Amino acid sequence: MAVPRKSLRGFLAQAKDALRTAVVSSQKITLVVGNESADLDSMTCSLMYAYIRTMMPPSSAFSSVYVPITNMPFSDIQIRPEFPTLFRHANIEPGHLITLDDLPHMSVMKSELKPENTQWILVDHNALQGQLGKIYSERVAGVIDHHDDEGKVQQDTGCEPRVVIKTGSCTSLVTEFCQHTWDKLSNSGIDSGAARGQGDSLSEAGAAVELWDAQLAYLGLASILIDTANLQSKDKTTEHDSKAVEYLEAKIMACPQLSAGFNRSEFYKEINTAKTDIGGLKLRDILRKDYKEWNARGQKLGISSVVKSIAFMQKKAGEEANTQSLDKAYLEALRSFSKERGVDLYAVMTTSTSSEGEFQRELLVLAFNDTAISAAKKFATDASEELRLEDWHGSDGEAHGHQDDEYWRQVWWQRNVQHSRKRVAPLLRESMN
């Protein structure tokens, strides 16, 4: 049964209370979680899906409330300046998010949130990783994702979706899947008790619904525009993305309170500027800001995506280490980060703009044992043509390849810039099998 329509802010308070009750009273609960990088796309996917499903759940839903989990500790919001910038458009604050800190103590042996009382919906990934995966992987009941299908989610997901399609943004797929329900929700919201409570007339109730729709649409729009470079990236933008943007913009334009101040290009610029404003972060925080990892045949792969160049990170490493040996300082920082994460194979992918204004990518790979080194070399051979890898030369003019008893390293320009981590990660994983 649908609950009375409410704002996103009100929904998040309700979802947080429902999670606490589920833990204390051992009640059933459905959790919607993005991937471990907890980037903009993952965060907005989980919020949008959980909100719409809670406001109008299917009749056979596992629980009446869907709880959106942002897959990170609350403290990590400080390394995502785009979050609070976006939240101002949705009338929520970082403290409204439900993060890993809101989940009870978890261990494989004992968890206060019993697996049998949970159902998990994955968005922006299709294999539950990390500690959550160790405990709850058998409880995954649905998925909406735009990465390569790892085959971890069963084909029959009942009333929940199993959508794995290549798009620029996963939020586009969530918008597409929820569109019919969202429209029904909008049309019926005026007659709901919550909407009526906003004023004494139907027009005032309607204005409240339009506002709530527009605020939710802002969330989804931000992710799609960021992931497709404002729909200008020919390599990433699909018809799913374009149609989702059209639909979400219509929700914003239907709200007189917000439509007058809306400009897509200015909105994209605002969020993108905040996202790339990482100069004040420590190098370790830059590396973990958009980090993902996978396990394959007993080896762990980690990949950091960074919105600045290697030269930027080298300079920051040198400043933090108070040394002029920038490459040495940078390498030590990468090795320290890899050791902290316990990875055998580690990659850093960068995006930046050249002095001529062209979009460019760099790729650095580090391997720390014989098995990982063999995988890295296989990747370098097998993926070279597809990614159009070219040796990267530093300011000293030297190529940055290295191998000794402790580690193997190679750095390239990735001239085929259309391939993001969505493609590079599967190529690295294939080399590890």
Q: What are 56's two structure tokens?
A: 């109008």
User: Which parts of the chain sit beneath pLDDT 70?
Assistant: 1-3, 106-111, 189-205, 394-401
pLDDT value for 190: 56
pLDDT value for 193: 47
The C-alpha atoms of residue 23 and residue 247 are separated, in whole angstroms, by 37
pLDDT value for 325: 81
The C-alpha atoms of residue 121 and residue 68 are separated, in whole angstroms, by 9
Helix (H) / strand (E) containing 290: none
pLDDT value for 105: 74
pLDDT value for 400: 64
Closest CA to 337 of 291, 295, 287: 287
Q: How far is CA 257 from the centre of its chain?
A: 29
The C-alpha atoms of residue 194 and residue 192 are separated, in whole angstroms, by 6
Torsion of CA 272, 276, 171, 243, to 10 degrees: 30
Q: How far is CA 270 from the centre of its chain?
A: 19
Closest CA to 292 of 95, 147, 98: 147
Q: Three-state DSSP class for 118?
A: strand
Do 338 and 344 meet the contact criterion of CB atoms below 8 Å apart?
no
Q: Three-state DSSP class for 408?
A: strand
Angle at 373 between CA 371 and CA 378, to 5 degrees: 100
Do 170 and 151 meet the contact criterion of CB atoms below 8 Å apart?
no
Question: In the 8-state DSSP scheme, what is residue 70?
Answer: B
- Which residue, chain included where needed, has tokens 């056979």? 60
- Which residue, chain included where needed, has tokens 């439509």? 259
Q: Three-state DSSP class for 342?
A: coil
Give bridge partners of residue 410 from the DSSP assignment: 365
Q: For the chain, how big is the Rg over CA atoms in Å?
A: 22
Helix (H) / strand (E) containing 315: helix 310-321
pLDDT value for 196: 46
Find the farthest-apart pair of alpha carbons in the chain and give their distance in angstroms, rounded: 75
The C-alpha atoms of residue 35 and residue 43 are separated, in whole angstroms, by 9
pLDDT value for 1: 47
Domains in the chain (CATH in brackets) are: 8-269 (3.90.1640.10), 283-432 (3.10.310.20)
Torsion of CA 391, 392, 396, 399, to 10 degrees: -30
